[in-house]
Amino acid sequence: MTPGLWRNLGDRAAVWPGRDWPLGATWSAEATNFAVHAPQATAVWVCLLDDEGGEVRHALTEQSLGVWHGAVPGVEAGTRYGYRVDGPWEPAQGRRFNPQKLLLDPYARAVSGALTPGPAVHAHEPGRRTQRPSRLDSLGHVPVGVVVADDDFDWGEDRPLRHRWRDTVVYEMHVKGMTALHDRVPEHLRGTYAGLATPAVVDYLRDLGVTAVELLPIHQFVSEPALTERGLTNYWGYNSLAFFAPHAAYSSAGDRGQQVTEFKHLVRTLHAAGIEVLLDVVYNHTAEAGPDGPSLSFRGLDDRGTYHRSYLRSQGEAFVDSYWDVTGCGNTVNADTPAMLRLILDSLRYWVTEMHVDGFRFDLASALTRVDHEIALDSRLITAIGQDPVLRHVKLVAEPWDASMDGYRVGEFPPPWVEWNDQYRDQVRDFWRGASHGIRDVATRLAGSSDLYADDGRSPYASVNFVTAHDGFTVRDLVSYEHKHNEANGEHNRDGTDNNRSCHHGVEGETDDEAVRALRRRQAANLMATLCLSNGVPMLTMGDERGRTQRGNNNAYCQDNEVSWVDWRPDDAWLDVYEVTRAALRLRREHPALRQRHFFEGRPTMVGGPKDLAWLHPSGREMSEENWHDHTLATVGMFVSGAPLRAPGPRGEQQVDASFVLWFHGGTEPVDVLLPENDWVHSGEVVLSTDPALAEGTPVRMGERLTLGPRTVAVLREQRQG
């Protein structure tokens, strides 16, 4: 039947008008409503697919405010579907409509199938992208959406945990890599959401002291064709395509909606253990890459309204259409357009309200703030998130840079955002490898980076501290390699950073030299203890606490194998580093003096009392201005007073804790430090030490000297009178 033209009285339309909201496929027993944003299209079909490769097309005859919609009766939950869209072929104007391409619904709640690279997935003919549209059908070569019904998931008593930032310990984790080799996870669950929910993993995280996991991207993603051609895959997942769908390959139960239920089970299980779930989200670009990339979803629906352009112009008969790329991935999502702003906000709210996640880490967040081409930290997206009654109360973490020079904005994101602090990473690495030229910079990082965050009223927890992340060396490799070894990536070792700030301590890579091995483990323990005891929010990277190695690969994004997975065998694990990490996190958890809400002020918290923070020279005196500029100084003591804390408790009560002296000695020779006599602390004990000669429980008295071995973290806690 021609749309809008009846043949006979009494006819019934095969597709009902439906409604233009919500976007995506909304199932009911009577009919499923389909709604998709394609404002410049001239025709849209929803295509229902069967398991034999067959396709039934239904024209969507209704269009409201740029949204094509219709309700198709009798669609079963689990049905696979996609869209075909017709319209002008004007690439220079950002219009790439081609009905030969089956397009994934941007609002699909689940995705089935994989991307098979080849000519069929491109909207243009190979080598002639601006002249002719492709006539090849992409059905069978591209992932498609799945109609998902309400699964009536039993959340029970699950509620947002809302741990305070100052009480939070983040563990950056890959869903597959955490359990792919875990012998205590049932084999059929390894590498899946269900595998993460097993007691072997949950108990491990809780025992370590983790309060939040940050999952590397779990929005449905695909591998770049260039990787596939090299026989590799995108392991990290920073190539998102569907921002509402849990990645199907991480499901043990199936890809027809089962992945949604399985992910919910993971969240509920972690919440029951007191562990929040944060998602690493990649809204800054999509898997469609640059103009020569595949047409999988957005490009065929609303290319012009999705991606930033650098310019649009005509040169004779040849069109020039240049995407503006500050992500390094071929395109940059324009989050300032109404459609993409809506999609990002709808996606975020969906994951909070329907999937119960607790927050997000925004990959290349600066790219999302772009208005035209300029950074605007008061952009529509930032403003909308800050005002949204759902989103403003979840954890929001910015990676405060993008791939451009002007995108680096550490210390500038507005509340309630917190930020990855790469200055912490760099200066702590430099201190422990002996390249810091004094202790001034590292002391600022230990105390919470007030130089970055105090000026706009934020607290120390605005700094998410880390010494490693998924991108770069692991802690073990940081102390074992001085150069990247990325040959396995197939890019002739040109990929990955050369600015590793690492030290191999005598020989490049693994060695049988016991002295070198012992020093490396000690340095790894120093890095982990420093991270866990610094003011701010510590973020650990999966496996660092037990010596995971990537064999010198500092860009293992395409290594979906033992290079990236956690090796759970005890044979080569650095379990002594694990014990130091666990002990440091326990101290942090048990003592509010070590995770304070406010910045230290260097003055008493009570009349006649000690300073809240005093920096100690090894000689026992407080640091002088001259000492702060001494480039040879490699030792500093950090006195933290707990009697009382500056901040009151929840009912205004005074909070009293033990006082601590934390010594950080980065020198290569032993050093004697004097514990100064004072009116407030007279004796104590060693409660953490990376020096084997300085045992935990060793008593100390003020006025006496204490010997710290080379490269040592030592934490002294006062003995309080009972």
What is the rounded CA–CA span in Å between residue 38 and residue 57?
17
What is the rounded CA–CA span in Å between residue 714 and residue 712?
6
Contact (Cβ atoms closer than 8 angstroms) between residue 364 and residue 383: no
DSSP string spanning 112-167? ES----SGGG-SEETTEEEEEE-----TTTS-EEE---------TT-------GGG
Which tokens in the block code for residue 681?
Answer: 């602390």
CA distances 427 to 37, 281, 583, 609, 667, Å, are: 47, 27, 23, 32, 15
Position 297: which residue type? S
Contact (Cβ atoms closer than 8 angstroms) between residue 103 and residue 300: yes
Which tokens in the block code for residue 349?
Answer: 């709210």
Position 401: which residue type? W
Interacting residues of 631 by C-beta distance below 8 A, sequence separation 6+: 437, 438
Would you call the peptide bond into 570 cis, given omega within 30 degrees of 0 as the criterion? no
Instruction: For residue 363, indicate whether it is catalytic.
Output: yes
**Number of separate helices (H) and strands (E) present in the chain:** 16, 35
Instruction: For residue 167, indicate whether it is catalytic.
Output: no
Task: Catalytic residue, from 214, 276, 358, 399: name it.
Answer: 399
Query: How long is the chain?
Result: 722
Contact (Cβ atoms closer than 8 angstroms) between residue 584 and residue 603: no
Task: Catalytic residue, from 363, 419, 477, 612: name it.
Answer: 363
Buried b (16+ CB within 10 A) or exposed e, 128-149: ebeeebbebebbebbbbbbbbb
Nearest one of 633, 704, 576, 259 to 431, comparing CA atoms: 633
Which tokens in the block code for residue 433?
Answer: 């490898």
Q: What is the CA radius of gyration of the chain?
A: 28
Nearest one of 209, 80, 247 to 591, comparing CA atoms: 209
What is the rounded CA–CA span in Å between residue 544 and residue 444?
24
Contact (Cβ atoms closer than 8 angstroms) between residue 22 and residue 35: yes
Q: Cite the active site residues.
A: 363, 399
